[in-house]
Chains A and B, each alone.
Chain A
Amino acid sequence: MTTPANDDGKDVQDIMPETSETPDAGAAAAKRGPAVATRERRQGATNPSGETPYLVVEDLVVKFPTADGVVSAVNGLSYSVPLGRTLAIVGESGSGKSVSSMAVMGLHDRKRTRITGSIRLGGDELIGLPENDLMKVRGDAVSMVFQDPQSSLHPLYTIGNQLVEAYRVHHKVSKEVAKKRALEMLDLVGIPNPVRRFAQYPHEFSGGMRQRAMIAMSLINDPKLVIADEPTTALDVTVQAQILDLLNNLQKEFGSAIVLITHDLGVVAEMADDVLVMYAGRCVEYGTAEDVLANPRMPYTWGLLESIPTVSAANEKLRPIKGLPPSLLNLPDGCSFNPRCPYKDRVKGELCTTQLPELLPVDGAGAHTSRCHLHDKVSIYETEVAPRLG
């Protein structure tokens, strides 16, 4: 267990001065009891692998005040990623996976977002950092690969121009030096004929090549952390595999930490060392990829796994998770998943609808945690869910 020493009492900094409520760590901890707060903090500071993490996110809360009320996009998220490891954050649209990663990059509009909690990068706190300091981190120590390279690359600048710009923001070098570096990167990500490609515009690239260029751009400053926000969603399946291979190989070469945001459990199986399942802005299950995929301990994760169509059961109907994710303006009481949970009636009393389950180790002690009131999770999974997974 590694707890960085500098977080005592200052792991919560508001970007916006709070007006009505004060959701700082103290108040939040008091509501849930001190034991929970301590446990969750330790959960965040460590990693399922036990290695020293590079990125530590603790009790992250992201809220957007809107005309209709406060949208609670992320509600107390904690995780950590060591160098050389890949964490996959899985969840439906609106579960807060992108929002939490944008918070790591500091990309939210400061005026419209309330962020509390702690995001530490190599021990340095990012929350509360002034924009000018954050700018130096963005694209240098942390970079991002976006979902749709078609819309994420500037259509009016050449690929070369955009790469050179990305390098020169963080390196005081001449255009020639930056160009050499850019050509190197294009070559590295497997773009044939980099010299010609350098002078071309994004619309002259195919989808896969564009994503390669995007990856080249995000790795040009040799970042220690890469956040890939659904990097393969906009690509066709064969290209998806190539891009995932590329990310895997580059990670081996650069040794960076990767946070992979996805809703595709196939991608998770191929890429991830650790998996964090998000629902309604909260972590509902967290552990190594093996643990979470082979021994899931939360009905939502079961639902995700069950909804994957299998080839052998081609004639069967798809098994979706019934219902819709809750409105982030008005989260249900108790467990956020309870309105859609098919196992709710197995829990005695009104526990599921009244009390938010804590994120607890599934076997009492280990690094695999889940948030569920069910007592017989293991037997339900093994007797009812696992046979359906085929």
Chain B
Amino acid sequence: MLYFVARRLVSALSVVLVTLIVTFALFFVAPTDPAGAICGDRNCTQERYNEIKDNLHLDRPVVQQFAEYAAGIVAGRTFETAGVTQHCSVPCLGFSFKNDRPVTQMLKERLPVTVSLVAGYAVIVLTIGVFVGSMAAKRRGTLGDRALMSSTLVLSSVPYYIVALMISLYLTILYPILPRGGYTPLTENPVAWFTGLLTPWLVLGLYSCTQYARYSRGSMVEALSEDYIRTARAKGLSDRVVTYKHGLRSGMIPVITIFGLDIAGSLAGAIFTERIFDLNGLGNLVLESLSNYDLPVIMGTVLVSSAILVAMNFLVDIAYSLIDPRVRLA
């Protein structure tokens, strides 16, 4: 088991390294002129332009620039802008000259918002979504199953942003049944943290529950038709134990794969939710930096998102091996 974890960890780290190189390469492949962008269209003298280029070390060889960037992540580095020396502490993901702040600092500010949002979302889809799907699988073919499945299909056919906007408009503004969205740090005021996130959690969570219910139903129907489920019933176990112990353990394996990727994707930015419910998370940061051409921030978010994706895949692998002993051999 330890060997298995170590091997997966090594492969995860090498993927992060490759991502780092590719992200950095993007910076150069992209048809942009970072110095020009920072300098701006007006009042940009050749002198100022050159100074920025020099500060960014854009005149140095690509390999050296990469080495500096990579070294910054593990050791920190300093930047000079307009004569002022800025320190960028570990892990330094670059410096946003547009905002005059280190990228890491900006990410640190935004990440907790997105993590809070996604954590609540994960709880909802894994409990309600999976439970509804399992229940439908247990009662497959009945009227309840069909009603449930067709209603989830209808709901998931409506674009998410329409649903979220409508709920935001009707249930939080026109008829304020649900609290308005907003972010207060958990450490500052747990109650405000909870109420501010409740509506986005419910909207994002319940909408995705329709997908999760369908996935879980599918894999549970398959699991419940296995021979070992018949064996479990022949032992004299109750239907509940058979479904939620013997069935769910096998039925969850495909759902966990989707869950891992979905969570990684949401952490990279639940853009609609953050926009609609006024949460300043990673998604909003990405939008802002894209419209500003703030390349260091874009690079930083891409790198963090891909690291999260790799980490989630690693966790999914570990979860697999805990659920299915046969995976440990592979």
Partner of B227, one of A105, A146, A169, A217: A146
B174 beta carbon closer than 8 Å to chain A: no
CA distance A140 to B237 in the complex (A): 11
A201 in contact with B237 (CB, 8 Å):
no
Chain B residues positioned under 8 Å from A154 (CB to CB): 228, 231-232, 246, 249-250
A187 beta carbon closer than 8 Å to chain B: no
Chain B residues positioned under 8 Å from A170 (CB to CB): 236
Nearest chain B residue, comparing its CB with the CB of A106: B233
B324 beta carbon closer than 8 Å to chain A: yes
B31 beta carbon closer than 8 Å to chain A: no
Q: How far is the CB of B302 from chain A (nearest CB, A)?
A: 37
B54 beta carbon closer than 8 Å to chain A: no
B230 in contact with A156 (CB, 8 Å):
no
Chain A residues positioned under 8 Å from B231 (CB to CB): 144, 146, 152-154
Restricting to A201-250, which residues have a CB under 8 Å from any CB of B? 201, 203, 217
A306 beta carbon closer than 8 Å to chain B: no
A169 in contact with B326 (CB, 8 Å):
no
A80 beta carbon closer than 8 Å to chain B: no
CA distance A107 to B239 in the complex (A): 11
| Secondary structure of the B contact surface, majority rule | helix
User: B318-330 toward A: CB 8 Å interface, digit per residue (1/0)?
Assistant: 0000011110000
Chain B residues positioned under 8 Å from A169 (CB to CB): 235-237
Chain A residues positioned under 8 Å from B249 (CB to CB): 154, 156-157
Q: How far is the CB of B228 from chain A (nearest CB, A)?
A: 4
User: A145-178 toward B: CB 8 Å interface, digit per residue (1/0)?
Assistant: 0101001111111000000011001100000000
CA distance A273 to B326 in the complex (A): 42
CA distance A146 to B228 in the complex (A): 9
Chain A residues positioned under 8 Å from B325 (CB to CB): 155-156, 201, 203
A139 in contact with B226 (CB, 8 Å):
no
A181 beta carbon closer than 8 Å to chain B: no
Chain A residues positioned under 8 Å from B235 (CB to CB): 138-139, 143, 165-166, 169, 217
Partner of B233, one of A107, A111, A136, A157: A107
Contact status of A131 and B239, CB under 8 A, knowing A152-B227, A155-B326: yes
Nearest chain B residue, comparing its CB with the CB of A203: B326
A83 beta carbon closer than 8 Å to chain B: no
Chain A residues positioned under 8 Å from B237 (CB to CB): 135, 139, 165, 169
Contact size range, B: 20 to 34
A15 beta carbon closer than 8 Å to chain B: no
Chain B residues positioned under 8 Å from A152 (CB to CB): 227-228, 230-231
Partner of B238, one of A107, A135, A143, A151: A135
Restricting to A71-107, which residues have a CB under 8 Å from any CB of B? 105, 107
B234 beta carbon closer than 8 Å to chain A: yes
Nearest chain A residue, comparing its CB with the CB of B323: A156
Chain A residues positioned under 8 Å from B232 (CB to CB): 154
Residues of chain B touching chain A, judged by Cβ–Cβ distance below 8 Å, are 142, 226-228, 230-239, 246, 249-250, 323-326
Ordered by A's residue number, 27 sampled pairs between the chains whose C-beta atoms are within 8 Å are A105-B234, A107-B230, A107-B234, A111-B142, A131-B239, A135-B236, A135-B237, A137-B236, A139-B235, A139-B237, A140-B236, A144-B234, A146-B227, A148-B227, A151-B227, A152-B228, A153-B231, A154-B228, A154-B231, A154-B249, A155-B228, A155-B324, A156-B324, A156-B325, A165-B235, A169-B236, A201-B326
Assuming A138-B234, A154-B246, what are 8 further A-B pairs, CB within 8 angstroms?
A: A107-B233, A146-B231, A146-B234, A148-B227, A154-B231, A155-B228, A170-B236, A203-B325
Ranked 3 nearest A-B pairs via Cβ? A139-B236, A151-B227, A139-B235
